[in-house]
Amino acid sequence: MCSGYYFQTEHNLWLPFLYLTTLSGILFIAIELWTNGIWLIQVRGIAIIFKIFLLACLPFLQGYELMTLIIVIIISGLVSHAPGDVRYYSIIHGQRLENINNLKNWY
């Protein structure tokens, strides 16, 4: 997709891949929520939701498509290579949380 914007390829050649990327991200969120809802308040979950939001807005960001995709790639690299203390950090609780059962100790 990124090269489609960079080389100004016709939309009909890369648009299905944009939809596929967005759909796979939504399915990933559904799986994570089904297995462990704590994912929503961790850095790793918030980053993915933000990336999907950016990808969904891509058709409306005329002139900023390449920059938006580069931001998505940078976020992906930073979060996926971050230590566990960063990825599993709960924004709400201000600490590392790996499981919903750990919330009992927070109250």
Task: Please state the domain extents for the chain.
Answer: 2-105
Mean pLDDT of 71-90: 93
Length of the chain: 107
Interval 11-34: pLDDT, tens? 788 888 878 887 887 898 899 888
Distances (CA, A) of 68 to 10, 22, 61, 78, 83: 18, 14, 8, 15, 25
Give the per-residue pLDDT at 10: 81
Here the tokens at position 63 are 């002139």
Q: Is the pLDDT of residue 106 over 80?
A: no
